[in-house]
A = this chain, B = another copy of it.
Amino acid sequence: MNAIEELREYFAEITRLNYISSLLNWDQEVNMMNYKSVEGRAKQVSLISKLIHQRITSEKVGKLIKEAEKLTLNEIENAMLREITREYNLETKLPVELVIEIAETSVLAAKNWRDARKKSDFSIFEKILEKTVELQKEKAEKLDTHPDLYSTLIDLYEPGANYEWIANIFNPIKPKLIDFVKKLNSSSDKPDDSIFNKHYDEDKQFELSNKIIKKLNFDFGYGRNDKVTHPFTQTLASQDTRITTRTSEPFPDCITSTIHEYGHAIYEMGIKKELHDTILCTGTSMGIHESQSRMWENIVGRSKEFWMYWYPTFQKYFPENLKDYPLEDFHRAINIVQPSFIRVNADEVTYGLHIILRFEIEKDLIEGKIQVNELPEIWNTNFEELLGIVPPNDALGVLQDVHWSGGAIGYFPTYFLGNLYGAQIYAKVLERMPNLHDDYKKGEFSNLLNYLRENIHQYGSIYRANELIKRVTGEDLNSDYFLKYIEEKFYPIYRL
């Protein structure tokens, strides 16, 4: 075996340990919601983190990297070496004690956050969030890959990105979005979504969401869909990607959020066999990941043609609500644009504002300009500036997201990047297949899936996000596509 082959084999074990770590997390989220103690689990998570860290940072890896650099490598091997080097450089900067502390803290914080959110009491979460933020600052300081701490953290989720690059994208969109929301809401013929205030049986919602993803080629022989508080997707092996959903929120959250998670899962499931169990066997960045989930959720899953196919089934499932309710109105209802408190339930347009809020707060938090105990107030103040409304309590405000509890600071901006990437990719898809939406009317979604598999999914992390978007669309990330997409979509819906 040469050095790159040795690295490949060595990192297969690390990948497996990562999958095991994912199972520990998946299981906690899905199965331990009512547990009184997660201390045992926390110790297990930190043990696996320690093992991963020790393996990545072993001298052997450093030596093999040096040897591999001298070899003539093919494209995949090159990408593998790039990612292995990146991991090695990052992890060797972190002391093992910090890795363990972050891992243990995240398990306990997840529990505290859940309790705090349930009781809408920020004080339950405050202390451990302070610790979490401090640990993330310390981590960023040790990693020191960028001049500013926040960029260092962002780069962990969106390799190649930094604060300035994102700010330069978000800043010009921010006023445009605020204006666009106002403009839509000035319409004299706005959609009405009161139909969603009716009762929709939870079991039927879950059944329908599974029916839809099955039709979208989600294979239950290689994955699952389970109910949780906060939906997420997790890959537990090269042939085991699990999504989660909730039926507790107002309809049709379960449906749209299931399609969203499906978009993540189908990306992971489409990575070519050659990459299985390698460091490249995952989506290339959170932004690209989110482009897939949001494309399926919003561009496909809220399109007129999608509902031309599905609506009759929904009418059969919920005749008491939908039998006499026109498709046209239903389609308008699920595309209503209006300021609301919960990010994951936000529409495609206001969604970006929810992200910009977090992006700006995270920046200040990491730089110490604001303190954890000020978060609830700052959240509410900034929320009003961006969305014009004030959360009535912290469960609907600063406590709504799980991310910070897991130490995932710098993750949020990738969500909105996903919207932008998605719109740009989809514009290209439509250029190639102008009649794609006719397929949807017939319940045929594999043309889009095949395109994505061929051009994006199969490659896993071979290409970095910026390289990938250029390969697929011929240009760098360009937010005009998104702005054009929402204008073309929402003006007609709002009869403007």
Contacts and interface: CB of A to CB of B under 8 A. Distances in A.
Interface in A27-74: 27, 31-32, 34-37, 39-41, 43-44, 47-48, 51
Categorize the interface residue count of chain A: 20 to 34
B40 A221 contact: no
Interface stretch (A149-157, A181-189, A236-244): A236-244
A222 interface: yes
B40 A240 contact: yes
A27 B24 contact: no
A277 interface: yes
Given A17-B47, A24-B23, A34 B221 contact: yes
Contact of A36 (B27, B48, B221): B221
A222 B23 contact: no
A20 B19 contact: no
Interface string A225-238: 00000000000111
Nearest to A238: B40
A224 interface: yes
Nearest to A226: B31
Contact of A237 (B17, B34, B41): B41
Interface in A187-234: 219-222, 224
B44 A16 contact: yes
A227 to B, nearest CB: 13
B31 A222 contact: no
Nearest to A235: B40
A6 interface: no
A360 interface: no
A13 interface: yes
Contact of A221 (B37, B44, B220, B239): B37
Contacts of A41: 236-237, 240
Given A23-B23, A24-B20, A37-B239, A277 B43 contact: yes
Contacts of A237: 39-41, 43-44
B221 A35 contact: yes
A36 B277 contact: no
A237 B39 CA distance: 9
A220 B34 CA distance: 7
A221 B34 CA distance: 6
A62 to B, nearest CB: 22
A167 to B, nearest CB: 40
A157 B239 CA distance: 34
A37 B222 contact: yes
A235 to B, nearest CB: 10
Contacts of A34: 220-221
Contacts of A220: 34
Contacts of A40: 16, 19, 236-240, 277
A43 B23 contact: no
A48 B34 CA distance: 28
A23 B16 contact: no
A54 to B, nearest CB: 11
Interface of A: 13, 16-17, 19-20, 23-24, 27, 31-32, 34-37, 39-41, 43-44, 47-48, 51, 219-222, 224, 236-240, 277
Q: Which 8 A-B pairs have the closest CB atoms?
A: A40-B237, A36-B221, A37-B239, A16-B44, A16-B47, A40-B238, A40-B239, A20-B44
